[in-house]
Structure 1
């Protein structure tokens, strides 16, 4: 098997936890980066499960997991976006950016310095064995895998094994509901989907709780206390609250962006050191 040509970084969490927004910003901050959306692996609507009389878009059964695994294998071996994936997610509307231009510019400068010759990022992404005067060429790309069910064993165990670095974003039920209900809808294979009234309470949140109980203390997702020991065992990285020891699931987005940029750099360094 040849050298891995792309590193896969997972960004997972409940629907409306900020995954896609963060992925798009990280793509702009880190060069040679592209996004693969879990939402691009939905099965046709007529094949989706039905729960309480509603089409269930938020369960493992709604996704073509083998096709997602195939895409990740292609990315790791070829370093390119899979030609057999037709992205619908990128056609969905994007709300106002929750990070200021100043913060984004500062993060770009931080990553640029990290990628400079002689710095840790340079040896990760560029070929250092070039003749004098040659322009360094990227030898590694980064794929950001954005999805709401990436860390849900056993059904996603194969997917988890293909993700090199795993990030989990928390969000409270109240904020997830407010954000999801504010969306105008989603582009689908068949056309367009708009959540019916009560969809978050009946479908989205119960499915999220069921799939993620393993990573919370006593399985209490509502309580929001992450089980850091279990996360460590599965090599999942999550944001810790600042200040006292109290837990919190809603974070200021600029703090999350700064945390994510720092964690991506440190995680890439650790990944590179293991190779």
Structure 2
């Protein structure tokens, strides 16, 4: 069986769908695994557009410093085994919890706006999209504290509509949300990753 030396997996979806939780659990379970969180690349509030309703436009790609994110992703792609977190880059989680010299290096990139940004889209070996219904996403979001905090109507008036728009753009671009086995070595030999 052909085993890749590096695997880059995208985990995207609506706000509060469980992207970070899933990524961190996978990191604990998989050898040689690092996680990059797209949320770590938001621009400061003063650089984010505010719409006519007073809503910060955080759910658009221009609210993120994607150049900085791509620099981190490309550094990992160039040398995953030697990739170290730089003091100025707090975007990467701690070192892999498990190391296996015979297993591939895995990079999980999780975030909500990844599958329409071409430079990032082109690095993924696998892409997953997590979904939850409107009511559940709204309930989960209401339990979180954001800075700046969500004004009344922000979820219904901006967050959810932008998610639906992004999801439709993924469909219209024909982005392949791949589901399939990726071999990794674990107890008992090689097995599918997901």
- TM-score interval (norm. to shorter): 0.7 to 0.9
RMSD: 2.7
Alignment correspondent of 1:146: 110
CA distance in 2, matches of 1:82, 1:7: 19
**Offset, 1:184:** 2.7
Query: Which of residues 234, 245, 258 in structure 1 aligns to 2:175?
Result: 234
**Offset, 1:5:** 6.0
**Offset, 1:34:** 1.6
Alignment correspondent of 1:170: 131
Structure with more of its chain in helix, by fraction: 1
3-state SS in 1 of match to 2:182: helix
Tell me the TM-score normalised to structure 1 length: 0.56
Matched, 1:61 2:2: no
CA distance in 1, matches of 2:6, 2:85: 12
Instruction: Report the CA distance shift for 1:161/1:203 in structure 2 as closer, same or farther (over 3 A).
Output: same
Structure 1 unmatched ranges of 5 or more: 91-124, 127-136, 186-191, 220-229, 239-262, 270-275
Alignment correspondent of 2:13: 13
Question: What do the CA deviations read for 1:203-261 (whole angstroms, capped 9, x no partner)?
Answer: 21111111111445xx8xxxxxxxxxx7xx533136xxxxxxxxxxxxxxxxxxxxxxx
3-state SS in 2 of match to 1:193: coil
Query: Which of residues 262, 267, 273 in structure 1 aligns to 2:182?
Result: 267
**Offset, 1:151:** 1.0
8 Å Cα contact 2:138-2:155 kept in structure 1: yes
1:117-128 aligned at under 5 Å gives the runs none
**Offset, 1:58:** 1.4
CA distance in 2, matches of 1:146, 1:268: 20
Tell me the TM-score normalised to structure 2 length: 0.78
**Offset, 1:81:** 5.1
CA distance in 1, matches of 2:183, 2:167: 25
8 Å Cα contact 1:16-1:176 kept in structure 2: yes
Alignment correspondent of 1:198: 153
Alignment correspondent of 2:71: 70
Instruction: Report the CA distance shift for 1:184/1:43 in structure 2 as closer, same or farther (over 3 A).
Output: closer
Could you list the structure 1 runs, at least 4 aligned residues long, displaced by more than 4 angstroms after superposition: none
When Rg is computed on C-alpha atoms for both structures, the one with the higher figure is: 1
Instruction: Report the CA distance shift for 1:235/1:77 in structure 2 as closer, same or farther (over 3 A).
Output: same
Alignment correspondent of 1:184: 145
CA distance in 2, matches of 1:49, 1:5: 40
CA distance in 2, matches of 1:35, 1:5: 17
